[in-house]
Structure 1
Amino acid sequence: MTSLDTPATAVGNYAELARAIRAEGLLDRRNGRYVLRIALNMVAFAAGCVAFAALGDSWWQLLVAVFFAVMFAQLAFVGHDAGHHQIFSSKRANTAIGLWHGGMVGMSFGAWIDQHNRHHQAPNHEETDPDVNIAVLAFTTGQSLEKRGFLRWMAKHQAYLFFPLLLLEGFSLHVNAVQSLRRKELRGRRVEMFLLLGHFAVYLTAVFLVLSPLTGVVFILVHQCLWGLYMGCSFAPGHKGMPTIAAGQRIDFLHRQVLTSRNISGGRLVEFATGGLNYQIEHHLFPTMPRMNLRRAKPIVERYCAEHGIEYTECGLAATYGHVLRHLHAVSAPLRTPVAVPA
């Protein structure tokens, strides 16, 4: 695994890299491309709704559930981009797009972006990154030893439980969205409340109006579990299994973002499937860069890292998940070590 122990003099010149990126126009907005993407998503979503209504009470609806799992992830990716102000120059316009897409999938845009921004500020920091402080998982040996009770058992077997746990991510996003409404400081709280109530009312009414109770419950389980799995498989590979930053450890911005992130190779198919999150290094270095410019930024960033001796990590999708699972298994190893019984 990559070491974060860089020499004290190795302070990355981020400004130099940023100038090279700006010179290529890669931070310029791509409004037309985003408008087209959003329009195509809306057409596809509407087509799915028509198919759902036309099929009626049929087990073929499970294929529609799979389709909506993919659509929910694609809509969430647009919300993610809006949260980073990648779509429009106007903060208000980006927020409107983010709230709209969050409402469509039953997420709190404001609460999720608040958490996600804290992750971007300190990726893989053992104390301040919310993405490595998850109750049901341990990402360091220290975290695994702190677990108690059932959570300790889960941490002990977390490598085997990782993908099954991702099946619950969709439900977790809904629960977190509802819980966030109790936070009076949440921006756009009333709008979020209206959108979330509207989402659940329309979703549940449509499901149980068209489907029988049993088919409806199975439809919801297939849809929500596959959506959660898709979301988790898209977001987790970027950092899980990469080095973590301990409390008090100082590291400059460039090294922090590059050394804690991992890219996924695979071309445009992987890019589409992951919403551009396969270019995790470039995204973390330039979070406002439009998704469709990340692939053009990659060779510039990779070349710069090679010239300055900064390790740039990239591997295939299958290899990425292998790294994640091996890391989870390794950090929980002390929990599986038999305790010696005194003679």
Structure 2
Amino acid sequence: MPDSTATDAANPPADLTDPADLVGSADPADPGNGTRGSDFARLARRITQAGLLERRPGHYAVRSVLVGAAFAGGWAAFLTIGDSWYQLAVAVLLAAVFAQIGLLAHDLAHRQVFRSRRSSEIAGMLAGNLAIGMSYGWWMDKHTRHHANPNHEDHDPDVSPDFLLWSREQAAQSRGLARFIGRRQAYLFFPLLTLEGFNLHLSSVRALARPVVKRRGVEASLLAAHAILYVGALFTVLSPGKAVAFLLLHQAVFGVYLGCTFAPNHKGMPTLRGEDKLDFLRRQVLTSRNVRGGRMLDAVLGGLNYQIEHHLFPSMPMPNLRRAQPIVRAYCEELGVDYLESGIVDSYAQALRHLHDVGAPLRARAGAPG
């Protein structure tokens, strides 16, 4: 993607520890890079005047009670049903509940729920580490870097070449398993998502050895407690075969749910490399895609279907994103900045077409049909 000549291009501070510290702050006079009067600053004034950065404690109180009740109800059903293959239905139910807890932890990390960093961290570790076995500190560090430079291949960990390749440049440099998967990655995308739950747990444990997790002792204790309670419950109530089946199905559906929540937002959108620079507003808007839908979709995706608004204002409470959308879309039209919004099916189709296109040179080189 070509460089932009926009005047306020700058990266956010390198020592960010919380996504809410990103430039989408509540201060309309400071877009985060010291340039007053920038395109983003003018948009931020409109958003602030509309009151859309104010906390929504009632929404989060109700949402937390509902998700907590679903979590308790799911495990109550698990204990009531006992050693039965009907437990596979409970596994699917709890996978959806785990994903909803993950989405709530996402909002906590962005300080959408509490203004206090300490309150956000305590609630985030209880939701992330203890409830679903995902390190809050590791995920927050990773997600902060994503927000700072979305779809930048050198800085965004979500588009780093691991098993999947996100650009033809990555494909040209790929080796081994990544190259093999890259040839057929559009077809393998959803099957690979079944491993994402396991990947989150493994990455969380591995992160405990790195300084990105600041409260390693607390996080390690909570992760260990989750593992003991989770695995202990499965193998105490179920026979070994059913316990393994429950675990595999539960983690697979959990991974697919989370992957399907985040995949439509940036995959298939322009990527940046090297010294490519965009001002903050364009960096967030041009690399993001909104997903069209009603309030049910808002609940299922945790509001991340308003990805453009979320990236511009990370600390904006989830229920305000819907109200911010017409303001942001109209402003982008004023500036002539492309604002992409797709239906849910089309968003996945765009992402899969992009993955298939990235793998085309690898298929041609291997002599496979194009």
CA distance 1:184–1:9, shift in 2 (3 Å) = closer
In structure 2, what residue type is equivalent to 1:125? Answer: H
After TM superposition, the structure 1 = structure 2 runs for residues 142-221 of structure 1, keeping only pairs within 5 Å, are 142-184=169-211, 186-221=213-248
Match of 1:43 in 2: 69
Match of 2:90 in 1: 64
Q: Which amino acid aligns with 2:317?
A: P
2:314 paired with 1:287: yes
1:107 paired residue number: 134
Q: CA deviation at 1:123?
A: 0.2
Q: CA deviation at 1:186?
A: 1.8
Does the residue aligned with 1:59 lie in a helix, a strand or coil?
coil
Going from structure 1 to structure 2, the CA distance change for 1:4 and 1:302 (only over 3 Å counts) comes to farther
In the alignment, structure 1 residue 314 sits paired with structure 2 residue 314: no
Paired positions, count: 338
Aligned counterparts, 1:129-140, within 5 A: 129-140=156-167
Q: CA deviation at 1:185?
A: 5.1
Measure the CA separation in 1 of the matches of 2:326 and 2:177.
45
Query: Tell me, which stretches of 5 or more residues in structure 1 are unaligned?
Result: none
Mapped to 2, the partners of 1:8 and 1:278 lie a distance apart of 27
Which residue of the other structure, out of 107, 111, 121, is the alignment partner of 1:85?
A: 111
Identity %: 51
Instruction: Give the 3-state SS of the residue equivalent to 2:267 in structure 1.
Output: coil
2:291–2:343 contact (8 Å) kept in structure 1? yes
What TM-score do you get using the length of structure 2 for normalisation? Answer: 0.89
Q: Note the residue ranges of structure 2 that are not aligned, 5 or more in a row.
A: 10-37
The answer to whether the 8 Å contact 1:4/1:243 transfers is no
Counterpart residue identity of residue 102, structure 2: A
Residues 1:303 and 1:141: Cα distance change in structure 2 (over 3 Å): same
Aligned equivalent of 1:228: 255
| C-alpha distance after superposition, 1:160-189 (max 9, x if no partner) | 111111000000000001111112452111
Alpha-carbon distance between aligned partners in 1 of 2:222 and 2:7, rounded to the nearest angstrom: 50
Root-mean-square deviation (Å): 1.5
Q: What whole-Å deviation, never above 9, does each CA across 1:317-336 have from its counterpart, x for those lacking one?
A: 11001000000010111111
Provide, for residues 91-139 of structure 1, a one-character-per-residue CA deviation record: whole Å limited to 9, x for no partner.
Answer: 1111111111112100000001000000000000011110000410110
Pairs within 5 Å for 1:203-282: 203-282=230-309
* Superposition misfits of 4+ residues, deviation over 2 angstroms: 3-12
